[in-house]
Structure 1
Amino acid sequence: MRAHRLAKGWLQKQLGKEVALDNTAISHFEKGSHIPRRDVTLRIDKALDADGAIFKLRDELDDNPDAKWLQRFLKEYARATTIHHITDFTPAVLETVEHTRLALEAGLPLYGGDLESKVAFRAELCEIMLRPDPPRFQVILGGSGSPHPDG
């Protein structure tokens, strides 16, 4: 992203203005500490006339097991003593491998990325819960369409 921005002669502030973002967000994206949503990536790609190059890179970074944000997330998750989860779906750490694969495969057209990398990341999350001293896991599972938690 930085190379495309500099080739255009823009400052981070100029790119931010063009895509309705703060220059701080642009800085985070360029450093790789944050991954922009797909819609934001499309706006950036278009503004920088990158012909899809930035959008393609976004999916590669999002699924890269070495991505800074993923490593930071796993580190925090691994050192947690309690994990609170509120969802309408089965939490990833409670899914079977088969369910994980089917759910992620169904989401590929929307979210993109590499299925095997996504499955591997989920497996790392599950390993944390299977260690001898796992964090306490608390979940509020809301029913579909129900305003009240089911359990």
Structure 2
Amino acid sequence: MAFEFRRSGHGRLLEATATVANTAVHVVGLFPLRHRETSTFAFLRCPQQVGATFSDVEATPCLQSPVVREDVPVFTPKELDATKDPWAYFGAVVRRYRGNQSQVDVADAVHVSKQYVSHIEHAVRRPERKLVKALDRALDADGAVLAAFEMAVNASSHGSPEVADYFAAVVELEARATRIDWYSQSFFPGIVQTKEYATAITRAFSPFRSPEEVESLVAGRMARAEILASEDRPQLMVILDESVLVRPVGTPDVWARQLGYVLELINANKLVLQILPLSAGAHALLSAELIILRFPDAPPLAYVEGPHTGQVLDGKALVDACTLSYDLARAAALSPEASQARIEAAMREICP
């Protein structure tokens, strides 16, 4: 069992977390512990001792039995080789300059969660440059953390698909995810798009881009779709608003091929798709494009997107709220079988 403590500037205990079998538990009862530097003491969070100092704890008995609340997942990092993975190297540089500071202290200094700092250090998340600059200042790294970040960006950009900056983190996370829950109210998700459909979508979004730029963006999207061809592909669950089916994209041939490709993925057991019918009326995801990503070695994350912007959410409360909204939308959707029949009906309208 491992313990982590948060103290105020006056040495008062604010919070303790124990790690048992890779699960974080908040300590709310009496536990005999040994301080790593001084003498044995007992820490607890019961009515008698909330806010006690380390010296107060041994002198004040607790009337409660030890109780723990097992509701906070702990990130268990996988082994990384910093000599081969540029983002593992960047994480190692952050850890080195963090030194004896706790992840909580660093997270507070740059206004992110402790989990986010842990994900950076273990190459799960790629931070934005603005945050890296703040990290460099908070760690007194004199530019070393920023330099490691730039190196990682340059090293990993060769041969990588071109995507919008705000979506780059999701591309990396897609490849690590074991399950992806996706809700779209506007178009088929990128990883199930045909090249022709993706081209039509990209031209509609960016009418002033050159043909070469459009081709590059589409190539990036096609590269992302390759994860569905791998043996260890993620479980892909999609809720699609029915409005997508009544707004054809591209020529009739492009639209027909897109619908046919989605049906192929469904029949190959690479995709579970449910249509959220217009007749459902108001629902929990009326105003959002939402992706929830789940991992074998880290807590789930959510991604929400609007026009020309997007944000990865890692706070447990926010991810839980997004998951609930997704579940509510799925409850209002057609069954996978009825959804497939709806797509087949759309196909027949194009190709009677």
User: TM-score, normalised to structure 1's length?
Assistant: 0.52
* Change in 2 beyond 3 A, CA 1:140/1:39: farther
Shift of 1:120: 1.0
Equivalence for 1:30: 121
The question of whether the paired residues in 2 share the 8 Å contact of 1:16 and 1:26 is answered with yes
Counterpart secondary structure, 2:179: helix
Equivalence for 2:96: 6
2:189 aligned residue (55, 77, 91): 91
Letter in 1 for 2:185: T
Shift of 1:36: 3.2
For 1:76 and 1:85, the matched residues in 2 are separated by 13
For 1:76 and 1:120, the matched residues in 2 are separated by 18
* Change in 2 beyond 3 A, CA 1:76/1:46: same
Shift of 1:19: 0.9
For 1:138 and 1:121, the matched residues in 2 are separated by 22
Equivalence for 2:224: 121
Query: Greater share of strand residues, 1 or 2?
Result: 2
Residue 133 in structure 1 maps to residue 269 in structure 2: yes
The question of whether the paired residues in 2 share the 8 Å contact of 1:45 and 1:51 is answered with yes
Where do 5+ consecutive residues of structure 2 fail to align?
1-90, 158-167, 207-215, 231-235, 237-261, 279-285, 288-352
For 2:116 and 2:100, the matched residues in 1 are separated by 15
* Change in 2 beyond 3 A, CA 1:117/1:28: same
Counterpart secondary structure, 1:138: strand
Counterpart secondary structure, 2:96: helix
Residue 71 in structure 1 maps to residue 175 in structure 2: yes
Shift of 1:121: 1.3
* Change in 2 beyond 3 A, CA 1:6/1:84: closer
Counterpart secondary structure, 1:124: helix
Shift of 1:22: 2.6
The question of whether the paired residues in 2 share the 8 Å contact of 1:45 and 1:53 is answered with no
Query: Greater share of helix residues, 1 or 2?
Result: 1
Letter in 2 for 1:138: Q
Which of the two has higher C-alpha Rg?
2
* Change in 2 beyond 3 A, CA 1:93/1:24: closer
Letter in 1 for 2:222: V
1:50-80 Cα distance to aligned partner (Å, 9 max, x none): 34431552583858x8x5x33332x324xxx
The question of whether the paired residues in 1 share the 8 Å contact of 2:120 and 2:127 is answered with yes
For 1:91 and 1:121, the matched residues in 2 are separated by 11
Higher relative contact order (CA 8 A, sep 6+): 1
* Change in 2 beyond 3 A, CA 1:91/1:70: closer
Report % sequence identity: 17
Equivalence for 1:44: 135
Residue 54 in structure 1 maps to residue 145 in structure 2: no
Counterpart secondary structure, 2:125: coil
Over aligned residues, Cα RMSD in angstroms?
Answer: 4.5
* Change in 2 beyond 3 A, CA 1:139/1:84: farther
